[in-house]
Amino acid sequence: MEALITLLPGDGIGPEVTRCARDVLDAVAQRFAHRFEFREALIGGAAIDATGEPLPAPTVESCQASDAVLLGAVGGPKWSDPNAAVRPEQGLLGLRATLGVYANIRPVRIHPELAAASPLKPEKLEGVDMLVIRELTGGIYFGKKTRDATSASDLCEYTVAEIERIVRVAARLAGARRGKLCSVDKANVLETSRRWRDTTDRVVGDEFPGIELETLLVDAAAMHLLSRPADFDVIVTENMFGDILTDEASMLAGSLGMLPSASLGDSTVGLYEPIHGSAPDIAGRGLANPCAMIASAAMMLRHSLGLPAEADAVEGAIANAIADGARTADIAAGGSHISTDEMAVEVIRNLT
């Protein structure tokens, strides 16, 4: 098949891990007789430096014309002034809204060989295999914001329609797995969470009677993610809660550098990115772990390009590279490690 993919390397380690993902995709194209065309565009701090805007119009046009978008990371100390009128994160939030990718899918699986990299006891990690579905285009991140000399506010708002569509995505995914869905809210305090809970109960009860629904308050969910992580199958939650919980869940896998994500909407054009940030402290040093970005490319192959066998091959190649002992610094537990590019080479070598 032929596909047009927009690459948004972004800032910090973004260009390094994006280059690795492209190398793996080139190997996939050669191995499976596909043709992938890549266009590179600016976002975040790099875009601010070049154009004054975190999401320039040519970037939007390229993304909208593509079959899928692969993004590295945005942000860094150069642009970290909280009082700045223009910030790198605005580019990412704007792109999500522009593409209408309201469902963020973050798988959390454990490579047995990396159990020692997690702060949890190995027995707690046995059988951990979950999806966290985070609502991505609503809530407090997108609400009206005010600030004056004596106060500030951020509006958290959700419509019933926004909640219904994300719950349906999560319930369908749960139905294709173990049939267990956990909805996370703060309904004892927040009106948005009370609406979230009422809507979730109705949608699952009316439309997905075979799904086992559990509801947890977000503080309890944070605790249970560490005390009984293997019990979770699919978790669905609002934007800010999902952002925090998935970073916590990354510790199960041992490193942020191992976890990918897919952001999907009602079209096939998805936005794919690792859950880690730009890590400016290690940028350009060959220390970044490209596995999350490569796994995000695998999710792109599956969800946007309709190539599940190729996606399985890439995910299997990552697993085999880890099993063979390939380690970047973040998962080396203080032992010897290889560089960012060398890890990509090991994944490609294991691609079958």
d(CA 1, CA 250): 34
Determine which one of 23, 201, 243, 341 is catalytic: 243
Determine which one of 67, 186, 233, 272 is catalytic: 186
Is 342 buried (19+), middle (13-18) or exposed (0-12) by CB count in 10 A?
A: middle
Q: Any catalytic annotation for residue 102?
A: no
Q: Any catalytic annotation for residue 243?
A: yes
Question: What amino acid is encoded at 26 in this protein?
Answer: D
Q: N- to C-terminal Cα distance for the chain?
A: 18
Q: Which of 23, 87, 102, 103 is nearest to 341 (CA)?
A: 23
Which residues lie across from 69 on neighbouring strands?
6, 271
Q: Which of 229, 226, 200 is nearest to 214 (CA)?
A: 200
Two tokens, residue 124: 């707690």
Q: Any catalytic annotation for residue 247?
A: yes
Two tokens, residue 195: 């609406």
Determine which one of 129, 154, 201, 247 is catalytic: 247
Q: Where are the alpha helices (DSSP H) in the chain?
A: 14-32, 44-51, 57-64, 88-99, 122-125, 160-175, 191-207, 218-227, 239-253, 291-303, 308-323, 340-349
Cα pseudo-dihedral 48, 3, 311, 31, rounded to 10: -120
Q: Any catalytic annotation for residue 141?
A: yes
Determine which one of 67, 102, 141, 185 is catalytic: 141
d(CA 244, CA 100): 22
Residue 184 dihedral angles phi and psi, to the nearest 5°: -115, 130
Q: Which of 74, 41, 38, 136 is nearest to 277 (CA)?
A: 74
Q: Any catalytic annotation for residue 148?
A: no
Two tokens, residue 183: 């909805």
Determine which one of 81, 198, 219, 281 is catalytic: 219
Q: List the catalytic residues.
A: 141, 186, 219, 243, 247
